[in-house]
Structure 1
């Protein structure tokens, strides 16, 4: 596993401390399977463990893409709200499951303090849900629901491409997350939005998957209605 990792030198934009964090050699990754909510399971290693960068000195945590995207006012806010309570510890080695979980929770906390975008917070919540899925932890549903509510809000109010998702893919994901948390009627509606989108013709694989999941959600919704009578 360690041969798939390498050290990345970083400088914290809050405390200016230099540290290293692990990154993945993507060329060495082997896919085991893909799940319907875009979670990719790899053999040998879970890249999700290293998705969040954590400064060991002050605790500032964010995704690689957003790590340096911070204003001087936000730096002061982190220095005053997080650093006094932070106990120095490194996340720069091979991470355990618990360390990965902690890194996501820190990123969510700091994202709330900095009032990060809904799509950014949704993306982190979704990846934390995927982490919990790895151990069949019931917290998966909690964070899938949190991600769903944020993604649905961001679909209406934000630039769609912040998490590398276009409008069609996000509509599909909203359908799949609704289905996974048992909101089958809403899932059917989002899958329909996906299939009716003018750009769906450019995403043949997603079109096929949306049709399959629409049918599954419809059957689950019908079954739920029968069971409630």
Structure 2
């Protein structure tokens, strides 16, 4: 019997404190065929690893990822209760997710994170994954809408430095601000942030990202 790429994990909701089951992916089962310039993985099979990063509490409707802080600012729990939990119709997000279910999970997490006032870097990642899913569905307008949200949040993260201790480097954050600006056809902003990345070439060990920034910067400079 073949091992399933999926397994069940029990999670404690950081909002209502109740337990619920979520589905995770065995990382060794993921087969990446290629990676887009904004780091979206394209898989060889139908097992999409990034579909399962957002947890949705079946009890209260709060959605979150491992990047969320367990701290709630005063008053935010009450707002979450009013705007999400009181309107929530019980729904179980465990099991294999379709692109539409993954989108629902990420959009719930984005709304939850915005209400909870999560870091810009966390909100950026949620919006970017929504954009990735819309790209896989070939829904270009929706993809661009979430790319803009992600780009704006990455710029805020870069400006405020709230990416520190997030696992994201300054180079990676600046690169994403640039690449997403390029996808939005905002040339000047893209060149500005690509330049910031390239300026780090003597001090950063993220050579691949710097080379990607150089290639994109050169391509944009050649198109007048």
Answer whether TM exceeds 0.5 for this pair.
Answer: yes
Paired position in structure 2 for 1:227: none
Instruction: Name the SS for the 1:144 alignment partner.
Output: helix
Name the structure 1 match of 2:214.
211
42-51 vs 24-33, greater mean Cα deviation: 42-51
In structure 1, the residue matched to 2:80 is: 78
Counterpart in 1 of 2:36? 35
CA distance in 1, matches of 2:69, 2:88: 18
Structure 1 residue aligned with 2:111 = 109
Q: Where does residue 9 of structure 1 map in the other structure?
A: 10
1:135 equivalent in structure 2: 137
Query: 5+ unaligned residues in a row in structure 1: which ranges?
Result: 223-229
Could you tell me whether the CA contact under 8 Å between 1:133 and 1:140 is conserved in 2?
yes
After the TM superposition, which segments of 4 or more aligned residues of structure 1 sit over 2 Å from their partners?
13-17, 67-81, 158-164, 198-201
Normalised to the residue count of structure 1, the TM-score between the two structures is 0.88
Residue 71 of structure 1 and its aligned partner are, at CA, apart by: 5.9
Change (3 A) 1:12 1:204: closer
Give yes or no for contact 1:56–1:91 (8 Å, CA) kept in 2.
yes
CA contact (8 A) 1:160 1:166 kept: yes
Provide, for residues 106-125 of structure 1, a one-character-per-residue CA deviation record: whole Å limited to 9, x for no partner.
11111121122211111111
Query: Partners of 1:29 and 1:161 in 2: how far apart?
Result: 28
Moved more, 76-85 or 40-49: 76-85
By how many angstroms is 1:151 displaced? Answer: 0.8
Higher percent of residues as helix: 1
Q: 1:194 to 1:56 in 2, by over 3 A?
A: same
Shift of 1:10: 1.3
State how 1:57-72 maps to structure 2 within 5 Å: 57-66=59-68, 68-70=70-72
- Give the whole-Å Cα distance in 2 for the aligned partners of 1:97 and 1:62: 18
SS in structure 2 of the partner of residue 161 of structure 1: coil
1:164 lines up with 2:141 in the alignment = no
TM-fit CA distance, 1:65: 3.1
Tell me the secondary structure at the aligned position of residue 159 of structure 2: helix
Q: State the alpha-carbon separation in 1 of the partners of residues 61 and 3 from structure 2.
A: 25
- SS of aligned partner of 1:176: helix
Offset of residue 162 of structure 1:
5.3
> 1:166-196: CA deviations, max 9, x gaps?
0111111111111111012221221111111
**CA shift for structure 1 position 73:** 4.7
Shift of 1:100: 0.9
The Cα of 1:69 is off from its aligned counterpart by 4.5
What is the Cα-based RMSD across aligned positions, in Å?
Answer: 2.1
| Residue 148 of structure 2: aligned partner | 145
